[in-house]
Structure 1
Amino acid sequence: MVLNIIWLVFFFGAFVACMVQWIAFGDSGIFNKAILGAFDMSKTAFEIAIGLTGILSLWLGIMKIGEKAGAVQILAKIVSPLFSRLFPEIPKGHPVTGTIMMNVSANMLGLDNAATPMGLKAMKELQELNPNEDKTVASNSQIMFLVLNASGLTLIPVSIMTYRAQMGAANPSDVFLPILLSTFFSTIAGIVSISFFQKVKLKDPVTVLWLGGLTAAVMGLMFYFSHLTAEAIGTTSLFISGLALFAVIVVFLGLAVYKKVQAYEAFVEGAKDGFHTAVMIIPNLVAILVGVAVFRASGAMDLLLNGVSWVLGLFGAGNDVVPALPTALMKPLSGGGARGMMIDAMKTFGPDSFAGRLSCMFQGATDTTFYIIAVYFGSVGIKKTRHAITCALISDAVGILSAIAIAYLFFPPTA
């Protein structure tokens, strides 16, 4: 519904902008320019989707190996002590705890297809534990679970790296570490904001050890990078990203050998999913990118961004972030729409430009908040969301602001 409205706004807004330029400035060629932009972008969208096939198949194949080898279950066991403190309403040993951990772990590993069914199952089980007499009112556990999903914590941003590779980025994984840092701050903000409303005891020794230790590690990493030159930051970031991603592949393969999983067959199974996924996204990619192209060619996008730039100027903010902002504004509403904005930014400014990289970070630092709320709460009949939307939007805002700050640290724009 939301994406439908946004898509229509692109075309109606573009037509109005074309009419204004024709009537006010006598630019009779603006209509043809908009149509040519649509034709060109439809071709580009198809080429992007086809080019994604190989890279997407590679990563989904690797992820399938990890899934079958038990990587998700292992990660779930690791975070169990923390999760038992964040969900105090859930009885000890209740099966929903395992489902929640599997869902969050799958999200962290980028296993979207596996994460969503587990998420819906977890929400249904949490609804059975809902202590409210009015079952349309969200429980504390349901809100905590939803915001953890909406915070978008990601260890491996597979899809973003895949798109960057297809768009010709010199090193598609150079945003790996910045996205990890941004989503970490987003998730911490979500947990802290919920704890304020729900009176969760963050001073519990185990919770302090977990959150404090993770925060100290991240801050130490940020402190280390802040004392490096721009060239050293790039070199070190690429080293860490490459090492981490290669290590994940090796660990998954090692687990497969240990668990006697047929790694090759698992890889082929996952790769098939990659092929089908690439084909399935063609219509959606064409639709959103054509809408963005018409909106941009008509001059409406420039008008919108100039307005945003003027507002940011009032607060002393630079204009470097403006071209990437459409991705940030779209992401809470629509993942597909934000993906289109991200690709448009990389195509327009280049995948290795500040705007191109920042748009990728915006895409990875937040999640489709309103979609998640609608699907997860809607699946169990929750109508009264209480403080869920507030906390989710706080998490999104922190993720966006963190992405901007980290982008300036890792990828300082050239003069």
Structure 2
Amino acid sequence: MVLSRFWLVIFVCSITFVIAGLFTNQYYSIDYVLNGKQGEPLLISEKYLNEVPQFVQDSLKVSGNNEFVVNRVTSDADTTYVYNKQTVKIYSGTQKADGLLPMAKSSLLDLILPLIAYLAFFCGIMELLIISGASEKLAGYLSPAFAKIFPSIPKNHESISYMTLNFAANFLGLDSAATPFGLKAMEKLQEINPDKDKASDAQIMFMCLHAAGLTLIPTSIIGYRAAENAANPADVMLPCIITSFVGTIAAFILVGIKQRINFKSASLLVGLMSLIGAIIGLLFYVNTLDLIGKNYFTANLSGVLLLAIIGFTLLFSFINEKKFIAKNTNLFDTFVVGANNGLKTGAMIFPYVMGMLVAISLFRNSGLFELISHGMAFVFSHLGVHKEIIDSLPVAMLRPFASSGSRGFMIDAMRVYGPDSFAGRLSCIFQCSAETTFYVIAVYFGSVNIKDTRYTLWMMLLVDLICVLTAIFVASWFF
């Protein structure tokens, strides 16, 4: 219900803002809101040739393509005058996101179709895990710890193994693998959910832990920093780990208090301390490496472990081939059955994803997001918040809505302020240590047709806020 209201508010406020802007001459044309593409120049005015400055008229007359560019503001797109059919169209600035209709199209072509491909492959691998008995063994090993965190889940339940694989994939920065494992976990949790229209406690805990995005190897962030010629692309790895770890612990404590989980359990404390010890040990090891060693380690660890998981699944399935024969199937046919299930899941979640992304697109292109962002920057600047922190805030603000948008702000921050500046580094930590909350809720709950997400949204947003505050503190400490 909360998500539905929020989605409706975004749409109504954005549409109202656009129409008001048109009638108050803030916008010359609102076609870009519907049909524009991200990065395209914005039409801000149209005049007759004799109405533009004389030097522009002269330049247009001698220009072979009837176009003249004025270099006035180097930090923004150049102002462009285009003469066509007796009028001069004036463009300035660029569009922040795809328009409503292109976004609806790209959500299918650029997001859902690749996601369906990942789902098909990894759901095929997961089907092998199920039939071979590997998932059952994994659930058996982890049941004692998970019973403390998810008391409503039966012992050795299949969802435990899928949640473990989801956390592991997120931990290693393998987003393409994490989503299929997470969707399968939600499907299994839904099977034991007594109220099919309402999110269960276990599903909420899983979603909030997922939102914290505990990350060990921020592979993509390191890659972006390397592309921007950072002196040490991996220097944000430790701050990212600390920030995401604090967010994960905060999510567990906050949701645990809400769900009255027993925090005094010895096994729970042992598991938590073991995790902390493993992270600290790995950090000490990475810290002993030189720059090339760190780059090599971070570039290969995730890939090696993913290949190891796939290889183990295939080998374990081959060793237990009798179980497949007993079910009148074989390894490849089992993989195909799982892949078909992945295709169906992808088709099911498309409307949820498309609806959320279109609303966010309208929100950004309307100018409402920029207005709120500038307003917050103004308030923070008068509260004495450092300018470099304010320069990074657009990444933190947009991250819960759209990963691609916040990624664009992150890259822009590195290019404008430098990849080794405080603002550039903090933007990277923001991008790494939180989740695209609205997208994740739409995908995960949409995959199991849950209508009432209860307190999931505000709890995930609270975790996002904790990650933002932690990122600022950690970045100030390190840099």
TM-score (norm 1): 0.65
CA distance in 1, matches of 2:296, 2:250: 28
Would you say the 8 A contact 1:76–1:102 is kept in 2?
no
RMSD: 4.8
CA distance in 2, matches of 1:149, 1:86: 14
The CA deviation at 1:402 is 0.7
CA distance in 2, matches of 1:93, 1:294: 49
Q: Hey, what does 1:114 align to over in structure 2?
A: 177
1:125 and 2:125 are equivalent in the alignment: no
Sort the Cα spacing of 1:205 and 1:236 in 2 relative to 1 into closer, same or farther, 3 A.
farther
Sort the Cα spacing of 1:191 and 1:325 in 2 relative to 1 into closer, same or farther, 3 A.
same
CA distance in 2, matches of 1:164, 1:10: 36
Q: Which of 144, 160, 165 is matched with 2:226 structurally?
A: 165
Q: What secondary structure, in the 3-state scheme, does the structure 1 residue paired with 2:79 have?
A: helix
Q: Hey, what does 1:270 align to over in structure 2?
A: none
Q: What secondary structure, in the 3-state scheme, does the structure 2 residue paired with 1:320 have?
A: helix
The CA deviation at 1:255 is 9.0
Task: Pick the structure with more helix per residue.
Answer: 1
Q: Which of 155, 158, 163 is matched with 1:92 structurally?
A: 155
Q: Hey, what does 2:391 align to over in structure 1?
A: 323
CA distance in 2, matches of 1:108, 1:350: 28
1:391 and 2:459 are equivalent in the alignment: yes
Q: Which of 405, 408, 414 is matched with 2:476 structurally?
A: 408
The CA deviation at 1:144 is 0.9
Give the unaligned 5+ runs of structure 1: 43-63, 225-232, 262-287
| Larger CA Rg, structure 1 vs 2 | 2
Q: Hey, what does 2:206 align to over in structure 1?
A: 145
Q: Hey, what does 1:58 align to over in structure 2?
A: none
Q: Hey, what does 2:79 align to over in structure 1?
A: 33
Would you say the 8 A contact 2:172–2:302 is kept in 1?
no
Sort the Cα spacing of 1:99 and 1:204 in 2 relative to 1 into closer, same or farther, 3 A.
same
Q: Which runs of 4+ in 1 moved over 4 A?
A: 1-20, 27-32, 34-37, 72-81, 212-222, 233-261, 291-295, 303-306
CA distance in 1, matches of 2:391, 2:288: 22
The CA deviation at 1:88 is 1.4
In structure 2, give the amino acid aligned to 1:393.
L
CA distance in 2, matches of 1:10, 1:165: 39
CA distance in 2, matches of 1:358, 1:408: 9
Q: Hey, what does 2:271 align to over in structure 1?
A: 210
1:382 and 2:450 are equivalent in the alignment: yes
Q: Which moved more, 1:4-13 or 1:155-164?
A: 4-13
| Aligned sequence identity (%) | 38
CA distance in 2, matches of 1:150, 1:337: 18
Task: Pick the structure with more strand per residue.
Answer: 2
Q: Hey, what does 1:350 align to over in structure 2?
A: 418
The CA deviation at 1:89 is 1.1
The CA deviation at 1:136 is 0.7
CA distance in 1, matches of 2:12, 2:194: 37
* Number of residue pairs the alignment of both structures matches: 339
Sort the Cα spacing of 1:32 and 1:249 in 2 relative to 1 into closer, same or farther, 3 A.
closer
CA distance in 2, matches of 1:97, 1:359: 34
CA distance in 1, matches of 2:420, 2:25: 30
CA distance in 1, matches of 2:422, 2:20: 27
1:367 and 2:435 are equivalent in the alignment: yes
Would you say the 8 A contact 2:163–2:185 is kept in 1?
yes
In structure 1, give the amino acid aligned to 2:257.
F
CA distance in 2, matches of 1:364, 1:159: 9
CA distance in 1, matches of 2:441, 2:306: 32
Q: Which moved more, 1:79-88 or 1:173-182?
A: 79-88
In structure 2, give the amino acid aligned to 1:193.
L
CA distance in 2, matches of 1:346, 1:382: 39
In structure 2, give the amino acid aligned to 1:102.
L
Would you say the 8 A contact 2:215–2:241 is kept in 1?
yes
CA distance in 2, matches of 1:377, 1:128: 13
Give the unaligned 5+ runs of structure 2: 1-6, 29-43, 46-51, 54-71, 81-90, 99-121, 316-359
Deviations 1:111-140 (A, max 9, x none): 2222212211111111110023xx211101
CA distance in 2, matches of 1:293, 1:156: 33
TM-score (norm 2): 0.57
The CA deviation at 1:76 is 8.6
The CA deviation at 1:103 is 1.5
The CA deviation at 1:393 is 1.4
The CA deviation at 1:313 is 3.7
Which structure is higher in RCO with an 8 Å CA cutoff and minimum separation 6? Answer: 1
1:105 and 2:151 are equivalent in the alignment: no
Q: Which moved more, 1:136-145 or 1:339-348?
A: 339-348
